[in-house]
Chain A
Amino acid sequence: MVASRFLASSKMPELHWTGARELARMLEAKEVSSEEVTRAFIERGQAVDDKLHAYLAPTAEIALDSARAADERRAVGNALSAFDGVPIAYKDIFCTKGVRTTSGSRILEGFVPPYDSTVVARGHGAGLPMLGKLNMDEFAMGSSTENSGYGPTHNPWDLDAVPGGSSGGSTALVAAGGSPWSWGTDTGGSVRQPASVCGLVGVKPTYGLVSRYGVIAFASSLDSPGPITRTVEDAAALLSIGAGHDPHDSTSIPNRAEDYLDGIDAGISGMRIGIVDEFQGAAGTQPGVTTRIDEAYERLEKLGAKLEHISLPSFEHGISAYYLVAPAEASSNLARYDGVRYAFRAQGDDIVSMMSRTRDEGFGDEVKRRVMLGTYALAAGYYDAYYGKAQKVRTLITRDLQRAYESVDLIVSPTSPTTAFKIGERTSDPLAMYLSDIFTVPVNMAGNAGISVPCGLSPDDGLPVGLQIIAKSLDEKTMFRAAYAFEKDLGWIDSPEGRPSL
């Protein structure tokens, strides 16, 4: 009868365009069942995925079983959380017990983890049905999802363009209404940049706020799991579900869990916001992006924030340092993929040839390139000049930020210098691809919090542009306040223009 009531109610918005908080309200009010909601997202996903290729592994049956279980709990008033029954999807970098997990790599083809990552376990604990596992650049190395070992994902706003990366499957699916929200990971911008080019909200929380346990490692000292949603409120809600101390992760911050929705609507009047001189007119910034970002700055001022220019001299070295630190850690993290204990093995008549062939055949070009780069940066005779110096640059970036936060509460910039570029446009030029992370990378290097929030479509190509807001470590609440105020005043996401015509 739940269903009939749903069908009866007229002016019911299309379920798959409904945000997580609204879905939670409807479930609580028994206006709809989790099974209906979950089925709506599964069907939407099936309808669009042959165009997008966002999914690596849909888990419709698992999702529907969990949805029915959620409905039973709600029927007897035993909801696991306010979001019990609201479905979700995960980047394929999160280990899921009994469900194949590949991190977008052929070397892990067919790998079935015997355990859940902490983020997924907390999702289950909150009663979120799992829609499936989503495409990504292999081992999260990339900014376009073209480096997936299983083929590229397409941007719902322009099927010839990339959805960004490395969490491109997670942003494409949510942008197309295939899931209310999803989890990605951000090592150098891999949540914020794809969210930006898909017209979504993407959060890179403070390093250590969300557990890395069960997240297939790319660069351990930089990896940060983060929410991908259509609204700032949903992002704050999903972070509240996933954040908190985890004894399985030695780098997990021993903080008490917070409700990031608290005071999210307090406004930003009087807030001091810094604009980074070094980023102004950065090489390769698309004019249409600059237009929207300048408007965004004006809007923040209109909302009562005090904007001021700040200088972060070390930021111009962020990319150079990042592309030594991240590959160095990756070269070691990826050593375990050797054909001995799990998944892909190439034949070889001794251990060295077996391992070397397995890795040559199992890894894609970008992964091999970074493993080589990282091995080089750590090798005897080069360590001090490369890895050693890069770690010192990290210290400078952190110092610059600390100094900046003495005079401002938040820092703003574009999330990405350009909107979504065309598939294949940059694959031939790795360095150009790396430079698209220029605004996001320093935040990972310092371990701070950052968010990308939509600020409309670029006038030159009609594709989404994202504003990046950078907060102090563990100051996510201030960050959400500003993002929320901006989003509500812009009103773009709830307008017809806020959805791709797919």
Chain B
Amino acid sequence: MGIDRAAVDHIARLARLDLSDAERSRMQTELAQILGHAERIQSLDLDGVEPTSHSIPLSNVTRPDEVGPSLTQEEALQNAPDAEDGRFKVPRIIEDA
């Protein structure tokens, strides 16, 4: 499975990774190698096989609608890199996929 530089750039943007050029080239080789190994399962005939997303046969796990304790504002912001007026401060928001 070849993976071109454009794909690496697209994936890096989706994953919010500001990779250097060197990292991108290395990533391109390594991903191709690993995905190449994964090619083996491409050949398998898996039609009609149900996918497994959970290895345990559980269903309908819910909690009652009851209010429990929340963190204080101080606890919530305790690890914040930047905060203002009891809220988390972030740089200018721009739209991007």
Chain A positions near chain B (C-beta within 8 angstroms): 110-112, 114, 207-208, 221, 247, 250-251, 253, 316-317, 319-321, 323-324, 331, 335, 338-345, 348-357, 359-360, 363, 368-369, 371-373, 375-376, 379, 385-386, 388-396, 398, 430-431, 434, 445-447, 473
Contacts and interface: CB of A to CB of B under 8 A. Distances in A.
14 contacts: A221-B54, A345-B82, A350-B93, A352-B16, A372-B27, A375-B15, A379-B11, A389-B41, A393-B44, A393-B46, A394-B51, A396-B46, A396-B49, A431-B34
B54 A251 contact: yes
Interface in B15-65: 15-20, 23, 27, 30-31, 33-35, 37-38, 40-42, 44, 46, 49-56, 58, 61, 63
A368 B23 contact: yes
Contacts of B10: 379
Nearest to B97: A352
Nearest to A444: B55
Contact of A221 (B8, B19, B27, B53): B53
Given A114-B75, A368-B19, A447-B56, A342 B80 contact: yes
Given A345-B81, A372-B8, A392-B44, 17 more contacts: A110-B79, A250-B58, A317-B44, A320-B38, A320-B40, A352-B96, A354-B90, A355-B16, A357-B18, A360-B20, A368-B23, A372-B12, A376-B7, A389-B44, A392-B49, A430-B33, A430-B34
Interface residues of B, number: 52
B71 interface: yes
B16 A392 contact: no
B38 A342 contact: no
A114 B37 contact: no
B55 A445 contact: yes
Interface centre among B50, B52, B93 (most CB of A within 10 A): B52
B41 A393 contact: yes
Given A372-B11, A389-B44, A221 B37 contact: no
Nearest to A206: B56
A221 B78 contact: no
B94 interface: yes
Given A368-B19, A376-B31, A114 B71 contact: yes
A373 B32 CA distance: 10
A335 B42 CA distance: 28
A207 B52 CA distance: 14
B51 to A, nearest CB: 3
A99 to B, nearest CB: 13
Contacts of A373: 31, 34-35
Contacts of A207: 55-56
A208 B18 CA distance: 36
B15 to A, nearest CB: 4
Nearest to B36: A431
B6 interface: no
Contacts of A375: 11, 14-15
B9 to A, nearest CB: 11
Given A369-B30, A372-B11, A396-B49, A112 B79 contact: yes
A341 B53 CA distance: 29
Interface centre among B7, B31, B56 (most CB of A within 10 A): B56
B27 to A, nearest CB: 6
A331 B12 CA distance: 11
A323 B34 contact: yes
B44 A430 contact: no
Contacts of B50: 392, 395
Nearest to A395: B52
A357 B75 CA distance: 26
Interface centre among B38, B40, B90 (most CB of A within 10 A): B38
A253 B51 contact: no
A320 B37 contact: yes
A385 B3 CA distance: 14
B91 interface: yes
Contact of B91 (A250, A354, A385, A393): A354
A368 B23 CA distance: 10
Contacts of A345: 81-82
Nearest to B79: A342
Given A253-B56, A349-B92, A342 B11 contact: no
Given A351-B94, A392-B49, A317 B40 contact: yes
B57 to A, nearest CB: 9
Given A323-B38, A373-B34, A376-B11, A398 B52 contact: yes
Contact of B56 (A208, A339, A393): A208
Contact of B51 (A335, A355, A371, A388): A388
Q: Which 5 A-B pairs give the minimum distances between C-beta atoms?
A: A447-B55, A391-B51, A342-B79, A356-B18, A345-B81
